[in-house]
Chain A
Amino acid sequence: DAGITQSPRHKVTETGTPVTLRCHQTENHRYMYWYRQDPGHGLRLIHYSYGVKDTDKGEVSDGYSVSRSKTEDFLLTLESATSSQTSVYFCAIKPGQGAETQYFGPGTRLLVL
């Protein structure tokens, strides 16, 4: 158990509304990632963070923003949700720069109507 929680676990929202997903870790790891999982696509990187206030874009970052004001929390915001952002969102942590294994949270299932 890597001590990762995600909230909410399920959310239904309407097109055009802002949505924030939270990833919380208990072990103060430096690297955190947000992925989205869609059928036929596997997992794709949205944004990542390599420290407090240090974030950068991934492969599918359009329409998403992130913030990391504390080591333990990494927030993903959909500024104005669209139906194409209906997905399952996973947070992952990596214990160190030399350690390649990533550990995943339980996921957030988001439905945008």
Chain B
Amino acid sequence: AQSVTQLGSHVSVSEGALVLLRCNYSSSVPPYLFWYVQYPNQGLQLLLKYTSAATLVKGINGFEAEFKKSETSFHLTKPSAHMSDAAEYFCAVTGGSQGNLIFGKGTKLSVKP
């Protein structure tokens, strides 16, 4: 069964610093992978997705993620954090038997001034 592991339930960075949020997946078939962002008291918004095209995927708000099959990873990065990036981030993989997404437990990003 597919699963997703997000390392670090909380990550704190300074404004302007690199953001790195880690995601590892397990999948028996080539997966589709997603990053969603959730701002406080809001729904989930798609940041970016990997669908077996380019391994480096660019998303909204300056985020990007790189699919590394050998490492079964899909880490999310942003070169320079903004205060507005403070939110919870979820990595997800397709492959639920019902066509659903399998989510990681989420990483809450704090950005210090």
Q: Is the pairing of A and B real?
A: yes
Binding site for B on A (CB under 8 A): 31, 33, 35, 40-45, 48, 50, 56, 58, 90, 92, 94, 97, 100-107
A101→B46 contact, CB < 8 A:
yes
Q: Which residues of B contact A (CB under 8 A)?
A: 4, 9, 32, 34, 36, 42-46, 49, 51, 90, 92, 94, 96, 98-101, 103-106
A41 pairs with B105, CB closer than 8 A: yes
Compute the total of residue contacts between A and B using a CB distance below 8 Å: 54
Chain A residues with Cβ below 8 Å from B98 are: 33, 45, 48, 56, 58
Which residues in A have their C-beta under 8 angstroms from that of B36? 104
Q: Cα distance A106–B100 when bound, in Å?
A: 18
Q: Are B101 and A102 in contact (CB under 8 A)?
A: yes
B42 lies within 8 A of A40 (CB):
no
- Which residues of chain A have C-beta atoms less than 8 A from B105's C-beta? 40-42
Q: Which of A41, A44, A94, A107 touches B99 (beta carbons < 8 Å)?
A: A94
Identify which of A31, A97, A101 contacts B49 (C-beta below 8 A).
A101
